[in-house]
A and B are shown apart, each in its own frame.
Chain A
Amino acid sequence: MSLVLFLVLALTGAVVTLATARWPAARGTLALLASAACVVVAYRLDAGTAVHLGDGSLVVTHYLRLWLLCASAAILLLVLAGLLLSGRERIAPAALLTLAASAVGLAAPDLAAGLLVLCGAAAVAGLVAAGRVAEGSPTLRVAVDALRVTVVFAALGLLGVAWAVEPGVSLEPTTVTVAYLLVAAALALRVGSVPLHLPAARLAVSAPRGAVPLLLGWLPAAAAVVLLAWFSVTVLPLQPDLGWWPALPTALALLTLAATSIAILVQDDLGHVLGYMAIQGGAFALLTMGALDAAAAVEARTWLLILPLTLAALATVVLLIERAFGSGRAVELRGWIRRAPATAGALVLALVATYGLPGMAQFTARQRIAELAAGRPLGLVGLLAAALALLAWARVAWIGLQPVGAIVHEGAGERPALPPGPDQASGPAGGPPPIAPRLLGLLARGRLAIELNRVGLAALVALALALLPVALGIGAGHLADAAAEPIPTPIATPSSSPSSSPSPSPSPSVSPSVEPTAEPTASSEPTSSGSPGPSGGPSETPSPSSAAPSSVAPSPPGPSTGPSVGP
């Protein structure tokens, strides 16, 4: 299916759910339908095709397809969990807008344009954080700061990309260094690395729980993927000598890993913990900038898809605990696991998905990024520092295994409850009742059963959410292969002069690019899908990005060179 259909569905869903804000039931149903439709269309997307819009194009890669499929599924489950737990839907417009922006941002060969679209979505989606502004002005200030961060990130990203827009162009070392530092600063700001973490940490507390994976997960991760793609195709092939500058993002990232673990350990509020988990996960993107290695960039693409999924699962668990027991403070949750074992299972799965086990994609990705950036001993120290956060979760689990406290006792557990039996109505002559009343009765009982088991059903949703990143980690979807496939380029290619009309031949507008692969190999691919067609409307064609042989590309660092083959 076409990416255009996906975009239409996501954008229509965003507009419709925004317009039906006054009718919560209709809005919830529409949000579920729109996100379910996005799941189906994302599953049916044809990788290797391109959609032409004017003189631009959107290229569907395996990685994009997997990203959209996972994001759509996660958003569907987040919406479902929100509806089950609160009966209201608060994130659907922002979530569907995020989906559409991710589709454009990750599919656009013009990476700077993709970055702008993602920032536009982030600016609008950040307003979710101000949703509860009636409670006081702090949430308003948080939303204002989120907008500031988005704008400064976009400006830094553009300024960085401006110095090195075209792959394969030789640049002076000073130029490369300035561009590198600007983009690293943009990335640090976007993922909330220490010492720029305060806006992200505050956003995690003030935004609705369901919106945290969007604001601190999907949108920053997509932006990081775009910036790292720029890094892979422009800076890495030059094998630049950046002196000691790469140590700066590496040091900041390692500091972030350690500092967030400490923050998680001392925090009692699960909302804060969730925010710091997001910041900690984002630090690996910054570590990738310090690695200066194509293999690290590939591993980062793997990790940046798993990170938002784990955040979605953790956010659902936190939301479940808060809604079920009326508190998100660990000390007040004595015995919560006894009342909510499925939620505890989802938490364990989410933590396994976050930190990974040996052999899982996330474990390998985190380990390789850390080692390539900081070397083996220091990288290992960074990983261990990050894993210290598990102690805080162990404490939450220990408290949950204690005898049930007063707050948890008064809360709603997961124990299944059945609605009362049906009325023994009979028909006019003492026979079976008519079908319509029986169906209505069944429907009412079904609704009552859902009402009585909201927490248990939401726990099942959380389990499903936590299973997604675990499945990806053990090889479902061939994420590692998808992450290693060629990145569509060129980046912010200056348009030809107005006098030069588009050529019908496929060769002139094809640009060389260098792609990282799973192994540190180099490839050069024609990545923009031929020259633009004469028509202005969208058209879909197979993309040559995975087919044509390499031609003109500088070699990135690595032991071997050659055309890389997508999955």
Chain B
Amino acid sequence: MSLVALAAALVATIGAAFAVRTTDARLAALATSLCLLMAPLVADPLPDPLVLAIRLVAAIVAGYLLLLPVRRAAPLLGALRLGGTAEAGFVVAAFAVGLLAGPVASQAQGPATALAGGFALLLAGLDLLAFVEDGVRLGTGATLTLSGAALVLSAFAGTPSNAFQAGLGLLLVAVAAAAAWLALLAIGTRGELRFGARHRDLRDVG
């Protein structure tokens, strides 16, 4: 087991747990950026330096984009459904499950740490994606979900190709930009980061 991969997976998991637990949008964005920085290092062998650079830039840009709306609205966010601590606990538990399941996964060609980190990021991301009502944590959830899914892929298929890594970097930036734009629209119309109530009837919208 590569120590670099293990350390990176641990840091990414802690970052994901923190992003789930915190109610400060700035900290959530920073924790997400940290996760995205660590995710490409959870590989054995490590990707090419060029790929690492691409993912590094993508992580920084995505974090910056998620921070943009926070400058225009109060950074405090609502609590998650089960409470941040409980859900952060689930994220850490997902890491442990992945670490245990990695060696016994018959198709796995990558490190077990990738499966562990992937499970943790995936759980944190899906949790945020499903339950949050604000743009910053929507972006956090979206990018963590995608990074987690990519880590699971690398756990089964080995270190992904450079084209895949470049595509993932583009996707992370695109998703963060979309979430930031939606958050800015929410601030423009409602004055806060939350999106507002869900309307079931859209007949008069268009």
Q: How many residues of A contact B (CB 8 A)?
A: 65
CB distance from B41 to the nearest CB of A (A): 14
Q: How many residues of B contact A (CB 8 A)?
A: 60
- Pairs of residues from A and B, 5 with the lowest C-beta to C-beta distance, nearest first: A494-B158, A116-B167, A56-B163, A120-B174, A162-B153
Pair A112/B164 contact, Cβ less than 8 Å = yes
Would you give the 0/1 interface string for A125-166, flagging 1 where the beta carbon is closer than 8 Å to chain B?
A: 011001011111111111110011011101110110111011
Pair B161/A121 contact, Cβ less than 8 Å = no
Across-interface contacts of A165 in B (CB, < 8 A): 153, 156-157
- The residue on A at minimum CB distance from B110 is A494
Cα of A161 to Cα of B168 in the assembled complex, Å: 15
Pair A114/B167 contact, Cβ less than 8 Å = yes
Across-interface contacts of B150 in A (CB, < 8 A): 158
CB distance from B160 to the nearest CB of A (A): 6
* B83 interfacial by beta-carbon distance below 8 Å: no
Q: Which of B6-14, B25-33, B178-186 sits within the interface? A: B178-186
A–B Cβ pairs within 8 angstroms, 10 of them: A117-B167, A120-B173, A135-B205, A144-B195, A148-B142, A161-B153, A172-B107, A494-B157, A494-B159, A497-B45
Pair A171/B107 contact, Cβ less than 8 Å = yes
Cα of A142 to Cα of B50 in the assembled complex, Å: 37
B167 touches which one: A113, A135, A136 (CB < 8 A)?
A113
B162 touches which one: A56, A171, A269 (CB < 8 A)?
A56
**A116-B167, A116-B168, A494-B161 known; A137 vs B195 contact (CB < 8 Å):** yes
> Which B residues are within 8 Å of any A CB, using their own CB?
45-48, 50, 106-107, 109, 122, 125-126, 129-130, 138, 141-142, 145-146, 148-150, 152-153, 155-164, 166-168, 170-171, 173-175, 177-179, 181-182, 185-186, 188-190, 195-199, 202-203, 205-206
Q: Is the interface of A mostly helix, strand, loop or mixed?
A: helix
- The residue on A at minimum CB distance from B173 is A120
**A135-B205, A494-B161 known; A148 vs B182 contact (CB < 8 Å):** no
* A562 interfacial by beta-carbon distance below 8 Å: no
CB distance from A126 to the nearest CB of B (A): 7
**A120-B170, A135-B205, A140-B185 known; A126 vs B152 contact (CB < 8 Å):** no
Cα of A186 to Cα of B145 in the assembled complex, Å: 14
Across-interface contacts of B155 in A (CB, < 8 A): 162
Pair A495/B177 contact, Cβ less than 8 Å = no
* A12 interfacial by beta-carbon distance below 8 Å: no
B185 touches which one: A54, A133, A494 (CB < 8 A)?
A133
B161 touches which one: A113, A142, A202 (CB < 8 A)?
A113
CB distance from A127 to the nearest CB of B (A): 6
Cα of A268 to Cα of B203 in the assembled complex, Å: 10
Cα of A171 to Cα of B156 in the assembled complex, Å: 12
- The residue on B at minimum CB distance from A154 is B146
* A206 interfacial by beta-carbon distance below 8 Å: yes
Pair B179/A147 contact, Cβ less than 8 Å = yes
Across-interface contacts of A126 in B (CB, < 8 A): 178
* A205 interfacial by beta-carbon distance below 8 Å: yes
Pair B153/A117 contact, Cβ less than 8 Å = no
CB distance from B110 to the nearest CB of A (A): 8
B202 touches which one: A134, A138, A143 (CB < 8 A)?
A138
Across-interface contacts of B107 in A (CB, < 8 A): 163, 171-172, 175
Cα of A57 to Cα of B122 in the assembled complex, Å: 30
B164 touches which one: A110, A154, A271 (CB < 8 A)?
A110
B189 touches which one: A113, A140, A206, A492 (CB < 8 A)?
A140
* A55 interfacial by beta-carbon distance below 8 Å: yes
Across-interface contacts of A421 in B (CB, < 8 A): none
Cα of A147 to Cα of B183 in the assembled complex, Å: 12
Pair A130/B185 contact, Cβ less than 8 Å = yes
**A56-B162, A494-B109, A494-B159 known; A137 vs B199 contact (CB < 8 Å):** yes
- The residue on B at minimum CB distance from A209 is B206
Would you give the 0/1 interface string for A267-305, flagging 1 where the beta carbon is closer than 8 Å to chain B?
A: 001011000000000000000000000000000000000
Pair A123/B199 contact, Cβ less than 8 Å = no
Considering only residues 370-387 of chain A, those with a C-beta below 8 Å from chain B are: none
* A124 interfacial by beta-carbon distance below 8 Å: yes
Would you give the 0/1 interface string for A186-224, flagging 1 where the beta carbon is closer than 8 Å to chain B?
A: 000000000000000010011100000000000000000
Across-interface contacts of A269 in B (CB, < 8 A): 203
Given contacts A492-B153, A494-B161, 4 further A-B contacts (CB under 8 A): A54-B50, A113-B161, A123-B175, A172-B107
Pair B190/A137 contact, Cβ less than 8 Å = yes
